[in-house]
Amino acid sequence: MIFRDLFYILLVVLVSGCSIFDLNYSKNSHQKELKITKIFVKPASEQPLLKYRKINRGKPIVYGETLISANAHDGITAFRRSTGERLWHFFVPNGVEKEPLLFKDNLYFGGNNGYFYSIKATGGSENWKIHIKSEVVTTPSLDPEEGRIYLLSVSNSLFALDAESGKQIWTYTRQDPSSYSIRGGTNPVISGNIVYVGFSEGSFVAFNKANGTINWEIQLNKNKRFKDIDSTAVIDGERIYVSGYDDKLYCISSNNGDILWKFEAGGYAPVFIRGDTLYYPSTNEKLYSLNKNTAQKKWELSLSGGIPGEVSFIEGVLAVGESQGKLLLIQPETGKIITSFDPGRGILSPISVNERKSEIYFISGEANVYSLGVKWDYANLFSFVE
């Protein structure tokens, strides 16, 4: 009798213990931790930097097993993606500030020496170069149907070039009476037969891509000190989203340039759209989540490390660099910072994402190229205590 009672007591304890274990196992199995792993850090420039640091805003490019990075000191460098081994370097006096365009195994980019280049993505040998007599601090855009390259120079000149030869097809120059301007510019955006470009005097213009004639234009920023339209436009259906550095975010009709709505915060980087949500990095050192149709604010995040850069998406979270701070990984629904990584001297380049490898790449303000792994790991998987 006593033995039977002891058996029942022991059985109850075991069952209760298993239930507690199952409960805690179930809870803890859903607790995930987002981990950042440093794969490599390599200097982007060929020679050691003994002078002041320049503005490095070039997004690293994944080309097969190669990682290609521009730097504002001495040109373009290619690394082995897995190890960071230096493969080749293409020298450009005064460097290349923005990332190249990759098309048919060729790279197209402008230098701070007044030349525009085409080089091979394998080996870095030169195809051609032309003298455009101005710096280029934007990334060119490609029209694959026509085989044309469109680029905007610092002098507010828009060029249409033949991609194979570099021959100039047409050019347009916008006069800027202002003595104040932010260093930067928009990447030309091609949609159908139109090329959309913003200029430093605050205008946003739709060009006929065939001959450079103007279809329509709108003056967005009229009253602020810095009138620059430096953010690259983002087209979503019949809507265009573009911002002025010291002005507002605008939603514009792509048909005629009519303003559909505006949001009171200036911007330097393009918006990022996911579903009906628009993520907007602002020059007021805030990141906004907005309804893309109405501009209704869902959340805002104030940053402590300067102006937020272009938004990327990896492992279900937002990846954003601070101009004088850290790499931030952010929960997209709430704006909560999940984790961060400090490279030193901030990040002005967009974050390049390799989804297949769960890796991200960027160049820091120190002109160092970073390769980082970003993955979710289950934490405390076998913990018995909450």
Task: Reply yes or no on whether the pLDDT at 384 is more than 80.
Answer: no
Cα within 13 Å of Cα(258), Cβ side: 5
Task: Report CA dihedral (376, 380, 381, 384) to the nearest 10 degrees.
Answer: -160
Q: What is the DSSP string of 119-160?
A: EETTT--EEEEEE-SS---S--EEETTTTEEEEE-TTSEEEE
pLDDT tens, 219-250? 987 766 777 888 999 999 999 999 988 889 99
Q: Report the alpha-carbon distance of residue 81 to residue 268 in Å, rounded.
A: 29
Q: How many CB atoms lie within 10 A of CB 276?
A: 11
Q: How far apart are CA 104 and CA 235, in angstroms?
A: 24
Question: Using an 8 Å Cβ cutoff, are 217 and 257 in contact?
Answer: yes
Model pTM? 0.88
| Whether the predicted pLDDT of 386 surpasses 80 | no
Residue 204 pLDDT grade (very low, low, confident, very high; cuts 50, 70, 90): very high
Residue with tokens 């573009």: 242
Confidence of residue 38 (pLDDT cuts 50, 70, 90): very high
User: In whole angstroms, what is the distance from residue 273 CA to residue 290 CA?
Assistant: 10
Q: What amino acid is encoded at 18 in this protein?
A: C
Choose between 276 and 379: higher pLDDT: 276
Structural contact between residues 138 and 114, judged by C-beta atoms closer than 8 angstroms: no
Give the per-residue pLDDT at 234.
98
Three-state DSSP class for 364?
Answer: strand
Nearest one of 159, 198, 205 to 182, comparing CA atoms: 198
**Nearest C-alpha neighbor of 163 from the set 109, 118, 113:** 118
Those residues with Cβ within 8 angstroms of residue 26's Cβ, 6 or more apart along the chain or in another chain: none
Q: Is 358 left (phi over 0), alpha (psi -120 to 50) or beta?
A: left
Residues 73-128 pLDDT 10s: 999 999 999 999 999 999 999 999 999 999 999 999 999 999 999 999 999 999 99
Residue by residue, DSSP assigns 232-300 as: PPEEETTEEEEE-TTS-EEEEETTT--EEEEESS-BSS--EEETTEEEEEBTTSEEEEEETTT--EEEE
